[in-house]
Amino acid sequence: MHEQALLTEDHPSLGNAGALVGIDQIEELYKTSVSANNAVKVKCANSSCGVKVSIVIPDKEKAGRKTSPSAHFRGHHPEGCDRKPQTSSTTTTSASSQLKANPVKKEFPQVWIDPLTAAVNSSGRLLEPANNGELRSGSGVGGRSREGLGTSEGHSGVVGKFARAWLKMTVQSRKRNPLKAPWNPEGTYDSAFYSFELNSTKFLGKVGTKIFTAPVISVDKVGGDFYLGLQEKALGQAPKVVVLKSEVFEVGAAGRALLNQLNTFDLAQKVYLFCYGSFKYNAGASQSELVVKHPHFIYIDLPAL
């Protein structure tokens, strides 16, 4: 089986952007890595990964070389990426046309849209497959601040959308349902979420980027910043703290709504937090911290009233 990759730009004979190409097809057309890379732009075949890859075509004429290595794609894939097209993504449909024509039920959102890159990337490629309103309702989380100037959805944003879906799922269904994101190479809800109640929190630094979820046990306000302590199954050496710098609250209506939630936080109730990012040890504070970079990267699941 030849290695495959996805075209990111149209090519006159290989196909349009989004089409899957084999390294053998490229090798037939181009004799050197340079000519191939000039003409063909590709990314990882696993659409959940999608890192840019380059084409390596070994020089066959190189003197003295008995067996030349075979042509291949080279890229920096996240851990766990299989570099293979997903079984459901057949042949040459682009990711976007698949979404539009997706025949399977869209009960749960499937594609992660990063609010940080979405704001920058105005190529019009922004798709909101789960924008059917269904998942926005019924959460009871502050319908007050839905008007969001500058934000196109409810203030809980991307993490809230996936968190509410995750909460509705069984363990089996988390393993079955796709969640496509560059940081989630395994591509399921199960692989995207990391629950403090279900998992060890001993080596969080190695867990990498996830949507972490845990009950909140402390709320500290220092200046305009908030530090939320998380409950662990077994206490580790370092407390696990979610950090919200004051600038996060300045991001539109979503930021203001988040600040409002935090100011009225009631620890007498068990409140679950969902936050996207990765934990890093802060030696100065002797704690492991996840710094939230955007109000849409955190979701506070308030108990039903």
User: What amino acid occupies position 17?
Assistant: A
Residue 115 C-alpha from the chain's centroid: 11
Draw the binding track, 15-44, toward Zn ion (x: CB under 5 A; -: no contact): -----------------------------x
Cα→Cα distances 99→3, 110, 171, 198, 305, Å: 24, 10, 25, 32, 36
Could you tell me the smallest distance in angstroms from the CB atom of residue 238 to Zn ion?
32
42: nearest Cα among 80, 4, 77, 71? 4
Binding segment toward Zn ion, per CB under 5 A, in 31-39, 81-89, 136-144, 274-282: 81-89
Specify whether the CB–CB gap between 158 and 292 falls below 8 A: no
> Interface with Zn ion includes 233 (CB under 5 A)?
no
Residue 49 binding Zn ion, by CB under 5 A: yes
Q: Which stretch binds Zn ion (CB under 5 A): 23-31, 46-54, 133-141, 253-261?
A: 46-54
Query: Which of 44, 113 has the CB closer to Zn ion?
Result: 44
* CB 180, CB 112: distance < 8 Å: yes
The three-point CA angle 94-96-100 to 5° equals 120
The end-to-end CA distance of the chain, in Å, is: 56
Q: Nearer Cβ to Zn ion, position 81 or 228?
A: 81
Per CB under 5 A, the list member of 77, 106, 202, 245 interacting with Zn ion is: 77
7 binds Zn ion (CB under 5 A): no
Q: What are phi and psi of 28, to 5 degrees?
A: -65, -30
The stretch among 28-36, 71-79, 111-119, 121-129 that binds Zn ion (CB under 5 A) is 71-79
* C-beta closer to Zn ion: residue 128 or 186: 186
Binding site for Zn ion (CB under 5 A): 44, 46, 49, 77, 81, 83
